[in-house]
Structures are given as structure tokens and as C-alpha cells.
Structure 1
């Protein structure tokens, strides 16, 4: 059982409990102050033992405190925002179907937990940057963390005379790793050894060129090598101009980079790395320093991905085919291991954007937070409840749970104040961990489930390659629907970094009515991406307007390069039927025939990875991206065949006539293949061995 509690937030939302209750098959009393004077209703609900859905996210913390006050309160509590997403809008009175959909989705059970990735930090903090700023930052966190400074110049104020923390200097060769596992490699190439330097300033005073700053390193561009500083440092012995450069390395758990240019210049830097150009006065300085103070201990995050090497189209026999996941990852978490015929994902670097799973053509990489079946169930529940409550022309607005969710909430608040129109009644916001974590399998399924449009909100927080990938996916999905005869625009990437931009973009959707199937699909989204795509395409094809006039006429929908559907074109004049392409194909699209020299092809299986094209020694294969709407798409067809070559000794067929003749032509002039040796190439492997041993026996008899 589930108890749903709705509140009109001091009568600021025109909720209709009867309509909502009918849609959910549940009696829904209307509250106006559930978090205050009607809090007893909430406490009674959590005492019942039933699941509880609270239609308010603003007071989650307060409700948690109220639940803690109830003896033996065991009810799971879930929260859903119906206020900013629907109740506070110009269309609020028409938003009951959407609100019913949001409530229905909130009643779904929580997805199964995913495995986790563990980090262990001992609080060893490396601060890189000008010495004066590094020492300021160190003073603010040193009571919680073990600080080491890598000095990159004195800065405006220079270093303090008191040596409070270890200071390194030199040339950084590399800095890599993640929370709890950073490795710094550097070369000490300055005449002053900071481990021996006492900061007595004798060298600073002795240098006539002022080549030594208060970071106690010599600027070799200014130094004229008169060695006054070396003579002034005789007692300490910290300065030697004849000291050769030395290489060092060190391990750290955290990195605070105060340099103008970051040491790790990634859109999604590793966990535990923070960049504050200019020092602690940066606007985000206090927030990051507070985070650093709390990053000593053990931490976990979800393992966002699943990987199935059997489906991976990255590499075969050290030949690279698809590299879409590597190209799109902004966290540098995906790399190639082509000698192992696979990609490798570093779970410690993965930030959970899901873009790799979105662009993967085979489904070898799957998103696990949540998994596709859970996400598909949510979309189907939303759209079913929306339609059941009388909603029409549903638009799904997929947004991130960070920037996107905050922007949608701001839009709702601005609408309540009369400064914006708000989220339209037919637009259903759907929160994702990251905006790039879904692709055409779920988008096409959503249209099959009854959505008229799928929009993905990008707010500028995404990496540029993520936005490009989403645009490519949207164009591909739209090409498929247009090819099937559905009119209108079904897939959009909504770029909005402000409330006004989002309000305008959503307002433009109010009057759009793209064509969709007459019937709603009932299939369940599975864990296999290609299977889900096939189910969605089958449903969309059944009602395709393009097939109504000529139902028995095959349709070949041209698709852009890189699409995961298509055929291969084989140049029969070049193809020798060596079948190297069959061994390279990871999807079983290219097949041989054990009973005849044939190259066969099942178009449904082809993911257009290009391994066959790259592997073919004769350059006889080229890719043709398309979607064939015809029964033969799922059936094997013969791309090329040839007459078999028969062994000249036993007449057993082996190889093809074209391949053997080509081999004979290439080897005819070779010194190793003359006379009988050339004739043996015309024999099968068994006869070749027999003939060779027979010839050797005759030679021995002749010798006798």
C-alpha cells in the first residue's frame, strides 16, 4: 500500500484532489499546511507502515525530523515536486494530468542498489601555486589535513619566514590520479635546495640582479652566474650551481591547484582535485576549502556503468573500430586496450554522466544509475498515468538533478510571482543524474509509450562533446521517425542557461503537435539496448504513415554517418571471400556459410562499427548507414559468393576459385613457389602434406 499526501502550499496551487485520486485509485485529502499545523497527518501516515509519498520537496528536512519523532515509524518516505513543476504555472489549472503522472512515478519502488566505488583518503593535501597564496590556503586547512606545498613562484607577497609546511619546487612533469591516489612527478632543477634552505635571506640580499625571490628559487633568466649567492650560503650549503637535475615523485590524496592554468585541464576533473585560479579569494574558495576539510576518510560513490565485452565493437585483432565512448568522455575515464579487444573504464575517474552509454551503438556499455529497465518503467508509468488522467500531447523534459533541476525550480518560483509563464501543463519534467545519460533507445521508447516530444535540457554545465553527442542522437532519432512518415519535431535539445531562456523555449512547445502512433506500446524496456531499439522500432513501424499507402513496399531510410543501423556494400570484383570481415564482426552481422563459399549478412545485427571495413585486406567493404523497413532486414542475405576451387588431387572443394587464382598470380614469380611447390598450392591441406612427403620419399630412393 502507498499513502500519498498532497498539499496546495497555503492555497497557492489549484489542486483537484478528486481528479488526482481517481487517476491514482486512492483517496487524496487536500492539505494546505502539511508541514506545519497539519503535520499530524504526516506523522500518522508514517506510523502506518505503508509507503508514503509526500508531494513536497522544499520541506524534506523538516518531514524527516517529524518522522523521527514518531515511535516505531518504519514507512519508507519518497518526495516529489509538484509545485514548481506544475502547480506554480500559468497552466496550473490544466496541470492535473501532469501532477497525477508525477505522483504515480513517485510511487514506484526504488531501483535495486548498484555496486559502489571506494575511495580512501588519509588527508595528504598537495597545494600547487604561488607560495604566498598556497600558505594562505594551508593555514585554513592544516588543522584537518596534512599539507605539502609545491611552490610556483613567490607571488605578490612572497613566502613567510616561518617554515610551517614542507615546500617543494621545480618543474612538474605529471600529476595524475584521483581522490586518495594522486601521483606527482617533478624534477628539481634549481640551484637552491629548499630542504637545506633556512630562509635566512642572505642570498636574496647578495644577488645584484634580484634574481632570487621570496620563494627562494633562482630565476635563471635574470642570473648572470656571478655566484655571490652561493658564497653567501656557505654555512647552509643550500646553493650549488653544479647540482644536476633530480627526478622525484610523491603520493597525495587531495590536490588544491591555485595556478592560473590548471594542472589537470579536463571538463570533469578527478574526484579530489580542485582548481582555484587566483587563490582563496576566488568566489568558490570558501566552499572548496570547506569540502577539502571533510575529505579525510573513506568515501563511496555509485559504479555508474556496466560493461559487456562480448558486445563491444571497439577492437578485433588489434584493429580499432568504434571509439565513440572514448571520444565522448570528458573525464578521461575510458581508454583503449585494443590488444585485449576491449575498452577499459576507470571507475574512480567516471563521473556518471552516462554519455558513453548514450553513444555506444551495441549496448556494451550500459548505464546503471538507474539501469535502463528502471528508467523505462518510470517513463512508461509517467506517460500512462498522464494519458489516464486525460492528458494529451505529453512532452518529456529530461534534465539533470543539479543545474537542470535548479533551473526548473527557479522557473516555477518566477511563475508564482507573475514574472514567467512556468512549465506548461503538458511538459513533464524528468530528473536524471546527468542530462547525457539517455539516448535513442529510451527516447524512441518514450514516443512509443505515448510521448509526443522528448526534450533534453542542457544548461551549460555539460561538456561540449556531450551537447554534440545529444544533438547527434536527436538528429538520428528524428531521421528515423521522419523516414517512417511521422511529421513534426519529436526530439529537441533545449539549451537554456537562464530562467527567461527556459521559459521562452518551453512556451514555444505549447502549440506544437508532432504526429505520433495511434496506439501506445506496452513492451518493457530491457537491459539490452539493441533489443529495446528493435521493440521500439517495431511498434513505430506498425503504425508508420509511410507504410499505410504501400504496406508491402520496402523502405530504406538514409541515416547520417555514425548511425548504429545500416548495411555494408561489397565490391564483388575486389572481394576474394577471405572472410576476414566475418571474424572481425562483433555483432554477428557478417556470416559465412559452411556449405558454400558465401558471405552472408543480417542487417538487423549491424552496428556500423566499421571493423569489417578496416579489416578487409582488399578494401572491398564500405558502410551504408540506413534503416531498412522490410522483413529481409532480419533475414540473412548473400552479399557475395563464388565458385569453389577443387583440389587438383582429390577434387575436394576448398577456398574459392577467385582467391586461389589471385594467390597463384601473386606467388608465381616467387623463387620459393616454382614447379611442384606452385602446384601444391592448388591442393587442399591434406593432399598438400601427402604430396610433400611422397616427393621427399622419392628423393631418398633416388639417392640410394
Structure 2
């Protein structure tokens, strides 16, 4: 059964493989469940506008065009197969609140069908508070001496205040046309569907249940109430119905505890595999590739994303290495974290290859220049099975393969994407391992075989929780925002080492020598008049109790 369909009423100038059903009419189409189509008119799970863009603009040979059109279908099918987003529906009643002045109210009433909404009207000056989400919005308003709560499903708010920007279901006719607002409100009442695009792993979240707040970047960049910090419990709460699918939270998450479900790290990996010896042209869907007229030289193939804002240094390096080419990103704006990630990758490639890995184009003129400039990077292709690896582990493994046995110096990371190197004063470290317990990305580990504290700097997020958790003064510090491009950066480094202390009574090893000596130095003067208590300082837990009981019997 064919899963791919190509529809164009004007036909196509060259044949397509048999895997693609080609038609010039929408009548008598076989009732297959198509996965990928080039046009919305031909119903399918995914609409790939990049197919017609490629056919229209590519300078590839005819043979390569035929092969690459099929490849674009397969890329979208791979994206579909690896997507983990889920769709939900929300019940929306016809209760609508109109927030505006009287003259604007008249404008809305003229544009509405009479009595189509259960309509309430207030002015913005009496609004005190707002909470909830589309389908269940609660507006607190002043009404004389008492506050009144008004429950509605959607709000039309002229010149909406900042308080309204974080909530779904609020529309401003000064931002989009009034008729478009009313059309959207009607559609929502008929069928409001939203996606769950955030997958969350609390075990590596650097906010979740920590005694001190060392991270909360996802909530800080979220433009809505989709992510909320519960400071009392240090938990994150997610309102998927409020998510605008902007993608910023994913790129700022240091550990990878948040993942973009429509195109997660596995999807990026499998999709990138199609781009070997190809120049990837990354285009977010908002850039309207369907109407983009830019001639592309041979071996340029579009790589379409829902949004580019979820890209991080790990996914970018994956695409770059698996293509063996520079990558062009066409986007009108970039978040700070994505810009920081691009800078990191480019600095690394400049250090080794003396050229940027990622070329940015913010408009069509820049895009034309970048597409002429883009080239392959000799000896840069890297592919390995990265399944099961976390975000930082993927970046570390790929970077290690790029560095090899060389030393390319250091790269500074920056304000929004952090790497770092933990340093320990071995003289004051007692190997209590509080830092190991604090590190949930396993950058800090303890080796029981040789009683060492070890660091893999390449996966450290420089969050600082180990620094906050260390009980010793002048012991643990972090050198932040640096990546060392040399082999030792990826190897476990011994930060501190000690011997185990044997109980003076039974000989059982029960603690590190430094820990025992520290406690003995603190408590020794206090127990100076009692030799038995002094001896307990060098005993295991069992022998300590036995000595104290024996001393108690003797005293009795």
C-alpha cells in the first residue's frame, strides 16, 4: 500500500518512484491512509511543502531530483514514525468575554452573528486578576466594594495587558484582524485540539526537589503558563494546553530533562542520516517555504522543522557531523540560547577546520549568499549509534570524536549554554560524596575500588549544586563556561583520593581516613578527660556502641 502521494493539477516534468502515488486530480484517489503529501488538498498525516520547493528551486540533475524527492518523502515518514507527541481535545463553551471600550463593542457586535456567543462585556480598568486556561478562564473584576469572579471560555481583549499574554484563549483584534479573531473563536468552540509536545524526565532535572534553586531557565523563557515552578516543593508543573510550541524551553534545558516530542533527539538522529554528503538547509515551518523562490545549487536539501528554537548544541552537532557539510539555517529570529549554541559549534569548527559549521540567513538575500557559500567540511563526517544517550552525552561523544588525539585549545560557552569544570582542594576534601549525590547528570562519580572522587567535565552543566552541597570550606569550586578541546576533557579525572580507615577495635574499614581525622580533631579536645570516648572516635558504629556500653557498666 502506498503511503506517499504527490498532487499537482499541472502535473510534474519527471517521473517519480512507484512508492509515490502521482495524481493531477483529487477525484478517484485510492482510499489509502497516506502518511506524506506535498499538498494539503491531498489528505495525509504530514504535509511537506519542502517537496515542491525542492522540485521548483533545485539545480540537481534529473536523476538526483528523482532520488531526492523520494528521500524527502522518506524523511517525513521517519519524522512521523519517531514523533512522540499526543493530541488532546478541550471542551470549549460559547461563553466569551469582550474587554474593550463601548465603540469597540459596537464594532464586534456588527461583525458577529446575532446571539452566536454567550457574550459578556467589561472594560479593562476593572480587571484585577486572571487565571485558568482556554475553556476555563476566571476573571476577577471590581464590582463596588466586592470582587466578582467571572468564568468564561475565551476572551476577546482589545489592547490586552501583559497579564493576559501568558494565557491561552485570549485574542487581541489589534494584533490580528477582528474577523480572523472571531473565526478562531468559532473554530475553538467547534473543536479545540492541542498537542503535548513536552516530555519531562525529572530524574535529571536541575530544579526538581533540590534544596537550593540552581536552575529554572525553562520557566523563565516560557512566554505562557505552560511551565510553572512550585517553589515550596521544587517541582515543575506543565499546562500543555497553554503551550505555544515555541521550543525555547528545550534549548535552555542544560541536562536534557525536557525533550521536544515531535522531533526529539532520536528523530533528529534518524532524520540526519538521510543527509550524508548533502548540504542541509534548515527551515522552520513559519518561514513559509512554499512561497520561497531561491535557487539552490546541487546537493542542497531542505531540512524542515516545526520550530528552530528547540535546537541545542547537541542536535546541531548531530546534523552537522552526519551531513559532513556546513549547515544553512534560514530563520528571521533566533533565541539567545540557540544563538549561543551556534556560536559554540562554530568556535569549535573554527578551531579544527578554520571554517564555520553553521551559516545563518535571516532574509532571502542572505539565504542566496549562504547557499552559494555552503560547502562540505573535509573529514568531518561522524556517525555512531547514539540511542540511549542523554543530551550532554551525545554532545560529549560527538565532540570527542572531533577532537581525537589533538589539542585545539579552549572554547568559551557563554551566558545561556553552560559547561564547566569542577575543581577540588584535595587537602580539605573528606570524600563525603555530597557532591556526587548532588550531581544528577553523573559528571561527578565515586569509584569504590580506589576510593576516588572523579569528574567527567564533558557532561558537567556547571549548575553549581555540587558547590552548594559541599560541607567543607574552601573545597569545591567550578570554572564556568569553558570547554577544553583536548582528550583529557572527555576522560574521568581524579579530583580527590583517600585511604579507608580501619576500626581500631575490629579492623573493619568504615570511613575515609580524612573524615575520621577531621572528626577526631574536632571532638578530641572535648573528650580529653575520657580515654574511652576518645577511642570511640576511631571505631566503627558497632564497636563505638560496644565501648560505650562497656564504659557505662564499669562506671556503674
Normalised TM-score (structure 2): 0.83
Report the alpha carbon displacement of residue 473 of structure 1 after superposing the two structures with TM.
1.1
Q: For the structure 1 residues 486 and 438, does the alpha-carbon distance in structure 2 shift closer, same or farther, using more than 3 Å as the test?
A: same
Does 2:453 match 1:599?
Answer: yes
Q: For the structure 1 residues 93 and 682, does the alpha-carbon distance in structure 2 shift closer, same or farther, using more than 3 Å as the test?
A: closer
Indicate the residue corresponding to 1:571 in structure 2: 425
Distance 2:450 2:171 in 1: 62
Q: For the structure 1 residues 480 and 180, does the alpha-carbon distance in structure 2 shift closer, same or farther, using more than 3 Å as the test?
A: same
Residues 76-95 of structure 1: pairs in structure 2 closer than 5 A? 80-81=48-49, 85-89=53-57, 92=59
288, 303, 312: which is aligned to 2:196?
303
Report the alpha carbon displacement of residue 564 of structure 1 after superposing the two structures with TM.
5.9
Does 2:147 match 1:247?
Answer: yes
Q: For the structure 1 residues 641 and 10, does the alpha-carbon distance in structure 2 shift closer, same or farther, using more than 3 Å as the test?
A: same
Indicate the residue corresponding to 1:330 in structure 2: 223
263, 283, 288: which is aligned to 2:163?
263
Indicate the residue corresponding to 2:329 in structure 1: 456
Indicate the residue corresponding to 2:444 in structure 1: 590
Contact 2:413-2:419 at 8 Å conserved across structures: no
Report the alpha carbon displacement of residue 514 of structure 1 after superposing the two structures with TM.
5.5
What are the Cα deviations for residues 304-335 of structure 1, in whole angstroms up to 9, with x where unaligned?
Answer: 02112223233454223333323332234223
Indicate the residue corresponding to 1:163 in structure 2: none
Contact 1:308-1:364 at 8 Å conserved across structures: yes
SS at 2:71 equivalent = helix
Report the alpha carbon displacement of residue 427 of structure 1 after superposing the two structures with TM.
3.8
Contact 2:326-2:377 at 8 Å conserved across structures: no
Residues 189-268 of structure 1: pairs in structure 2 closer than 5 A? 190=144, 245-259=145-159, 261-265=161-165
Indicate the residue corresponding to 2:317 in structure 1: 444
537, 550, 556: which is aligned to 1:694?
550
Contact 1:53-1:106 at 8 Å conserved across structures: yes
Distance 2:463 2:361 in 1: 29
Residues 39-50 of structure 1: pairs in structure 2 closer than 5 A? 39=25, 46-47=29-30
Residues 147-186 of structure 1: pairs in structure 2 closer than 5 A? 147-152=119-124, 170=126, 172-186=127-141
Q: For the structure 1 residues 295 and 619, does the alpha-carbon distance in structure 2 shift closer, same or farther, using more than 3 Å as the test?
A: farther
Report the alpha carbon displacement of residue 124 of structure 1 after superposing the two structures with TM.
2.1
Indicate the residue corresponding to 1:346 in structure 2: 239
Q: For the structure 1 residues 289 and 532, does the alpha-carbon distance in structure 2 shift closer, same or farther, using more than 3 Å as the test?
A: same
Distance 2:46 2:140 in 1: 48
Contact 1:325-1:357 at 8 Å conserved across structures: yes
Distance 2:224 2:311 in 1: 18
Q: For the structure 1 residues 339 and 451, does the alpha-carbon distance in structure 2 shift closer, same or farther, using more than 3 Å as the test?
A: farther
Residues 135-154 of structure 1: pairs in structure 2 closer than 5 A? 136-137=107-108, 140-141=111-112, 143-152=115-124
Distance 1:537 1:118 in 2: 42
Indicate the residue corresponding to 1:228 in structure 2: none
Report the alpha carbon displacement of residue 303 of structure 1 after superposing the two structures with TM.
0.7
Contact 1:2-1:53 at 8 Å conserved across structures: no
Distance 2:379 2:541 in 1: 58
What are the Cα deviations for residues 336-368 of structure 1, in whole angstroms up to 9, with x where unaligned?
Answer: 346656533222222222222233333221111
- Structure 1, unmatched stretches of 5+, are 65-75, 154-169, 191-244, 388-393, 413-420, 461-465, 497-501
Indicate the residue corresponding to 1:234 in structure 2: none
Contact 1:571-1:621 at 8 Å conserved across structures: yes
Does 2:73 match 1:106?
Answer: yes
Distance 2:541 2:521 in 1: 19
Contact 1:599-1:641 at 8 Å conserved across structures: yes
Report the alpha carbon displacement of residue 612 of structure 1 after superposing the two structures with TM.
1.2
Report the alpha carbon displacement of residue 146 of structure 1 after superposing the two structures with TM.
1.7
Report the alpha carbon displacement of residue 88 of structure 1 after superposing the two structures with TM.
4.0
Indicate the residue corresponding to 1:396 in structure 2: 280
Q: For the structure 1 residues 695 and 435, does the alpha-carbon distance in structure 2 shift closer, same or farther, using more than 3 Å as the test?
A: same
Q: For the structure 1 residues 49 and 355, does the alpha-carbon distance in structure 2 shift closer, same or farther, using more than 3 Å as the test?
A: same
Q: For the structure 1 residues 526 and 8, does the alpha-carbon distance in structure 2 shift closer, same or farther, using more than 3 Å as the test?
A: farther
What are the Cα deviations for residues 429-467 of structure 1, in whole angstroms up to 9, with x where unaligned?
Answer: 32222221232333222222225122333325xxxxx62
What are the Cα deviations for residues 628-649 of structure 1, in whole angstroms up to 9, with x where unaligned?
Answer: 543x666544210234455455
Contact 1:397-1:428 at 8 Å conserved across structures: yes
395, 401, 409: which is aligned to 2:290?
409
Contact 2:2-2:19 at 8 Å conserved across structures: no
Indicate the residue corresponding to 1:470 in structure 2: 338
Structure of greater Rg: 1
Alignment: residue pair count: 545
Distance 1:523 1:660 in 2: 46
SS at 1:47 equivalent = coil
What are the Cα deviations for residues 372-401 of structure 1, in whole angstroms up to 9, with x where unaligned?
Answer: 3334333322x25xx5xxxxxx43232222
Report the alpha carbon displacement of residue 650 of structure 1 after superposing the two structures with TM.
4.6
Distance 2:213 2:306 in 1: 31
Distance 2:118 2:330 in 1: 41
Does 2:302 match 1:429?
Answer: yes
Contact 1:130-1:259 at 8 Å conserved across structures: no
Does 2:169 match 1:272?
Answer: yes
Distance 1:48 1:262 in 2: 48
Report the alpha carbon displacement of residue 584 of structure 1 after superposing the two structures with TM.
0.6
Distance 1:273 1:177 in 2: 11
Contact 2:424-2:476 at 8 Å conserved across structures: yes
Q: For the structure 1 residues 520 and 492, does the alpha-carbon distance in structure 2 shift closer, same or farther, using more than 3 Å as the test?
A: same
Report the alpha carbon displacement of residue 529 of structure 1 after superposing the two structures with TM.
3.2
106, 110, 115: which is aligned to 2:86?
115
- Structure 2, unmatched stretches of 5+, are none
Q: For the structure 1 residues 105 and 342, does the alpha-carbon distance in structure 2 shift closer, same or farther, using more than 3 Å as the test?
A: farther
Report the alpha carbon displacement of residue 472 of structure 1 after superposing the two structures with TM.
0.8
